[in-house]
């Protein structure tokens, strides 16, 4: 199951960026997933839940933003946007395009609950 390894990768990255004692304060992990990245969001959320269930990250959720598929036309210079991964320019019909978004999977932010004020 592809999403399981993706979810494990997310957990690994969070652990690299958040000190161990703060992992239980992670509230949300903001992801940007391209429309044609080949990731099933429900499946990813489910996998993440399974992996984190018995860990300090059990309280964290995935906040997923879908990034549309965008191609930039080399003929007319305009950007076409769709959810299907169509590489044709929707203005002039050219297939001479560059894919500029929609295939990525990025962690945009890791939201950690504000630490309680230090009693000093
Ligand atoms: Zn065009």
Query: Domain map of the chain by residue range?
Result: 2-112
Residues around the ion ligand 1 (C-beta < 5 A): 73, 75-76, 89, 91-92, 94
State the pLDDT at residue 117.
63
Distance from residue 86's CA to the centre of ligand 1 (Å): 13
* Partners of 26 in beta bridges: 112
State the pLDDT at residue 115.
65
Distance from residue 17's CA to the centre of ligand 1 (Å): 41
Residues of the chain with pLDDT under 70: 1, 115-120
State the pLDDT at residue 84.
87
Q: Are strands 105-112 and 26-34 parallel, antiparallel or unpaired?
A: antiparallel
Strand, coil or helix: 103? coil
Residue found under tokens 């399981």: 4
State the pLDDT at residue 82.
87
Burial class (CB in 10 A: 0-12, 13-18, 19+), 19: exposed
Phi, psi of 70 (to 5 degrees): -130, 130
CATH architecture of 2-112: 2-Layer Sandwich (3.30)
């Amino acid at each position: 199951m592809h999403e399981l390894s993706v979810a494990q990768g997310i957990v690994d990255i969070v652990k690299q960026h958040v000190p161990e004692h703060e992992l239980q304060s992670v509230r949300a992990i903001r992801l940007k997933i391209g429309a044609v990245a080949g990731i099933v969001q429900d499946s990813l959320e489910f996998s993440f839940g399974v992996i984190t269930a018995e860990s300090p990250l059990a309280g964290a959720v995935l906040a997923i933003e879908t990034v549309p598929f965008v191609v930039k036309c080399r003929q007319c210079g305009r950007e076409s946007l769709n959810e299907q991964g169509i590489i044709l320019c929707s203005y002039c019909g050219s297939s001479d395009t560059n894919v500029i978004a929609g295939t990525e999977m990025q962690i945009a932010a890791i939201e950690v609950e504000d630490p309680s004020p230090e009693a000093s």
